[in-house]
Structure 1
């Protein structure tokens, strides 16, 4: 039986808060309790927002909490070739196409379509891709990315879904509506997802499944806000012939207004709590751990 492998994978685009502490501690405790391995992954593909000082703060905060990880940490920015290879494998199955609308143009297309009723949205509330790039002929597509125009590489969801067949995953945690056990995947709810952009040669969905496979991750323990993303991850795992981890989605830390703690809402950072004299033991209590 393989040694269980857990991971904590923050983005260095801000300081860690109590929500991160809960996830990191749950993964570290689970790995320690079963004699498994705990990994740290730095998800730094967004070069415009990720900064070295935030990465240094991640290591400092985790060490302060008493969390140790197997060195070295994997930095996604150092493994872009792995993601390009995965896209090429999907393209060889005729599952990838380029789209060239800007975000503003996509917003206008959505507005036009919603003149006749609400346009479908993904589980996160974002509108599905409304463009027609998939309808371009094979003769029209070659050379467009090389023209210098901004573009996104998208997964042809209908074709991918037909190739992969019915999918499910093993949930040993709990979804936002108490889903557990064997959960049917519904990747089509996300539409033609972006696999990469001109300025960012991979996406969260693609890089996370590649990283988990290459690092031998057996147990993915993460927040319930990513529960339905697992549908997309199971699809990509199937298409790329990657192993399927067990998933354990955990509760979220929320503020007094019921909102999930987030860097975007300026949730209080662990470094600020530490400066106030809060101890690691008190952090455990604040996140509801013994």
Structure 2
């Protein structure tokens, strides 16, 4: 998403933030909300990636990392970035059993990619390459600025709405009005998230498949991640639901179909699109990737 659209999104979220402020505290509340939003927008632009990584409990993979799995993960991700013509991103990992990944940063020169240990332990080396190529595609398309800033502001809107139940002005609807704010403000922020999610994910899948060279790797990875995300709780994501749209797969709840309240397209639709792309690229599946051993037990494409 381009810079203009990013600032349009910031304006929309700021307006929503001000509206909730008005409902909570009238004109004074709206003015305070506007001031907070201006400061938050500036702070988010420069620091949102650090906020997101900290809130998700991510740690950077060290240059002298001892784990063979993490060394392979870092080395392959750097090779993919070089192949895509991107600056080397910072590489992070989250210690959670749920398989998932995301990218963050305001531009390719300040990007970070992050995978969970669940993803690295569950997927083959080829599948991990497909996932990280998808995340690097977000970096290349500069989606990460919008995704990251949306996460921080939408999270703040949700917190402000929750305050309404305690500080809401009785002249503006009393307890029922406060409950309505608490429900609909996060929903409105979520709708903004959804508006930027679906087409972005399809495009990142396509470009990611081109970067890693084989759409089947990412298609197979999505199958495993979908099953794993449904079966395993990611508590960090549950505690910060406004960040769900950043992940390659919804880390909160596995609902089927491209319904109104999902942050991602249906996995089956994404896999179908990747398989069509593989046909266009004249690439046939090589063995049963979905049944292969994890990344630390296999020679991979850069091994």
Looking at secondary structure, tell me which structure has more strand per residue. Answer: 1
User: What TM-score, normalized to structure 1?
Assistant: 0.28
Looking at secondary structure, tell me which structure has more helix per residue. Answer: 2
